[in-house]
Amino acid sequence: MRDLLDPRRMLVFAEVARSGSLAAAAQALGWTQPAVAQHVKRLERDTGCTLVIRNSRGVTLTEAGQSLATHADAITARLRAARADLSALTDLRAGQVRLAAFPSACATFVPAAIALLQERAPGLDVRLTEAEPGEARRLLAAGDADLAVTFDYDNVPDTPAEPARTPLFDDPMLLVLPSGHPLADRTDTDLADAADQRWIAGCPRCRTHLTTAAASQGFLPDIRHSTDDYVVTQTLVSTGLGIALLPTLALEAARDPQVTTIGLRRHAPRRVSLTSPADIPPSPATAAAASALIDVTGPRRTAKSKAEV
Amino acid sequence: MRDLLDPRRMLVFAEVARSGSLAAAAQALGWTQPAVAQHVKRLERDTGCTLVIRNSRGVTLTEAGQSLATHADAITARLRAARADLSALTDLRAGQVRLAAFPSACATFVPAAIALLQERAPGLDVRLTEAEPGEARRLLAAGDADLAVTFDYDNVPDTPAEPARTPLFDDPMLLVLPSGHPLADRTDTDLADAADQRWIAGCPRCRTHLTTAAASQGFLPDIRHSTDDYVVTQTLVSTGLGIALLPTLALEAARDPQVTTIGLRRHAPRRVSLTSPADIPPSPATAAAASALIDVTGPRRTAKSKAEV
DNA sequence: CCCGTGACCCAAGCACAGCTTGGGTCTGCT
DNA sequence: AGCAGACCCAAGCTGTGCTTGGGTCACGGG
């Protein structure tokens, strides 16, 4: 950079080349003539070349001057292009958003949100990665995602270094039973009423919601089978191998006609949120994506969570 | 220009992008960290975009920052290219010289000079235009030629607004006679001895040399035919239609074996010069061309004109 | 575990770059 | 001949932009 020509002088010189005289260039720049003359003189000193031939009608460029003016014009064009590109980013005519979302969100409202976003800002490059909340948070922290749709349970505290989180809506947990199960004719129940059942749960890492909820009701669930897949879960339930807890969203994504679901009294719902990296101001594209997700999930918001938002 | 981003800040930003941190960029630039930080901050204010995410390990570019850095790198490259192009011009690896020269010069030493120049500086773009001195001076004044090879006669004063002229050599005038002419057995003669001859001369505009020289000797030449072409002149002479004055250079370019030439006593030679536009410092390429022409015509220089140079 | 290192930020000060002012000269046109 | 419109030079002043000297926050090693 030290050995580079001063680019501001180049711009001044480009104006001189365009105007054909120092005085005209000065007027175009809103300066006085000596100001421009000083720039040109300095440029000639720096380059060691005579750049202009001064005559009584203004100046004419030497070959060196013409060469320099060409480069100067290219720089001007670049500066314009830089501004234009930044405008495109802020106006959402360009830009990228990398979304991460958990499976049942990906299977339900997220595609609608992306469609809405593409409609609002067709120039955006939107990319979705399916990821469970833990993985999604890793992606955000590593800078491999801009925005994540995550969930958490009230009773399971999150990591201490919590990224910025905006609640989207509450996703109530439902008890999933085979049709014809003794509990299946109730409209809702306490979790404790299912204490003696056999359970289908998620992998050891993902079953904490069930085990902590059960522990608070004073029992240890008898977990016989484990899967993180909500389709598999329902198949196992419908086959009579056990009962399960599933969030409403999962059942909305895929519903086995052979199972019955009933509500749970005094049972905390799964909370679905928007998570973004901590302390990073969202880009216009990311903000637009967040808006689209909030708008699409608006109907799901309960009065309580609406007040929070 | 007013609405353009400050290109110097762009260069600073390019360095930040390259270094990955403000402090490292500052070190690379030989500055302190706040200096760089101020530039980046100002750039963010000017663009209205967040360009970098500050974290404890340095900074990472946002999408807008990456876009800007790309343009900044392009500008850096342009500045380098500008310098390189100017160096090429001063080092004679590039550049253009437009030469103008009168016909007999074009037919004799000028091609050799161009060849010498091309050998010394193969990158130069050398262009030759054949032009009589008057036309050549017009080309110089109009900026359509950089250097001219011209001639003039001592007794014919030039235009008052005389461009810069470097004498090259003296080109003696010879009397051209048909073989077997009464004067043909002399080695030299006075012009007055040919006062009663029939003459071949140039066009009315070009015959002034003959008429003024004759007038100073007290006679008016009997001009029967006129041509500016030295080949035609010799053909007319050899056919016996008249005698003529021709410069040595013209006879060197093309010599009709049927004519005899004899020297003239006390007759001013034609002076061949290098002419360049007044008050314009010659470009490196033009200076090199002038050198080549001077070097090539060195052997022609008489002791007197050598002293002048 | 705590401290050191190395990022970052902020505010204030100071120097010089760079623009203006106010002279002057030289063409070229009216 | 005089004026207009180029250019140049020198001196002065303003404001940009770099430095100095503070402080905070994370991460990593003794």
**CATH code of B22's domain:** 1.10.10.10
Upper half-sphere CA count for residue A110 (Cβ side, 13 Å): 25
C-alpha distances out from residue A214 to A13, A209, A259, B17, Å: 78, 8, 22, 53
Q: Which residues have CB under 7 A from strand C?
A: A 6, 8, 26, 30-32, 34-35, 38-39, 42, 55-57; B 21-24, 33-34, 37, 40-41, 54, 56-59
**What was the pLDDT predicted at B301?**
83
Within-domain flag for B2: no
**What was the pLDDT predicted at B203?**
73
Which tens digit of pLDDT belongs to each residue from A200-252? 998 776 788 888 888 888 889 999 999 989 999 999 999 999 999 999 999 99
End-of-domain residue from the set A27, A60, A92: A92
Task: Report the DSSP beta bridge partners of residue A199.
Answer: A223, A243
Nearest CB to B8; choose among A8, A63, A143: A8
C-alpha distances out from residue B177 to B171, B217, B271, Å: 18, 19, 23
**What was the pLDDT predicted at A114?**
98
Which tens digit of pLDDT belongs to each residue from B193-246? 888 899 999 877 678 888 888 888 888 999 999 998 999 999 999 999 999 999
Same domain, A32 and A87: yes
Q: Which two tokens stand for residue B254?
A: 């093309």
How many Å from the CA of A35 to C1' of C23? 16
Instruction: Look at B85 and A67 and tell me if their CB atoms are within 8 Å.
Output: yes
Residue found under tokens 């010799």: B234
How many Å from the CA of B20 to C1' of D13? 39
Same domain, A186 and A63: no
**What was the pLDDT predicted at A236?**
95
**What was the pLDDT predicted at B209?**
83
The DSSP call for residue A46 is: H
**What was the pLDDT predicted at B134?**
86
**What was the pLDDT predicted at A11?**
97
Closest to B148 measured CA to CA, from B307, B278, B47: B278
Q: Which two tokens stand for residue B199?
A: 């003459």
Within-domain flag for A2: no
Q: Which one of B31, B43, B63, B140 makes the best mutation probe of the A interface by having the most chain A beta carbons within 10 Å? A: B63
How many Å from the CA of B150 to C1' of D1? 37
Instruction: Report, as ranges of residue numbers, the positions in chain A whose pLDDT lies below 50.
Output: 158, 160
B161 pLDDT more than 70: no
End-of-domain residue from the set B92, B122, B152: B92
**What was the pLDDT predicted at A160?**
47
Question: Is-contact B89 B282, C-beta < 8 A?
Answer: no
Same domain, A181 and A238: yes
Same domain, B222 and B159: no
**What was the pLDDT predicted at B160?**
46
| Residue percentage of chain B with pLDDT more than 90 | 68
Domain that residue B104 falls in: 96-169+271-308
The structure's pTM equals: 0.84
End-of-domain residue from the set B34, B67, B92: B92
* Measured CA angle at A309 (ends A270, A114), to 5 deg: 75
The A residues from 84 to 103 touching B (CB cutoff 8 Å) are 85-86, 89-90, 95-96
Which residues does chain A have within 8 Å of residue B64's beta carbon, measured at their own beta carbons? 86, 89-90, 283
Which residues does chain A have within 8 Å of residue B24's beta carbon, measured at their own beta carbons? none
| Residue percentage of chain B with pLDDT more than 70 | 94
Same domain, A113 and A158: yes
Q: Determine the distance in angstroms separating the CA of A89 from the nearest CA of chain B, rounded to an integer.
A: 7
CATH number, residue A185: 3.40.190.10
Instruction: Look at A63 and B29 and tell me if their CB atoms are within 8 Å.
Output: no
Phi, psi of A268 (to 5 degrees): -65, 135
* Measured CA angle at A113 (ends A112, A114), to 5 deg: 90
Within-domain flag for A109: yes
CA distance B13 to B61: 10
**What was the pLDDT predicted at B60?**
92
Nucleotide nearest to A24 (CA to C1'): D6
How many domains are there within chain B? 3
Same domain, B52 and B14: yes
Same domain, A105 and A23: no
How many Å from the CA of B96 to C1' of D11? 41
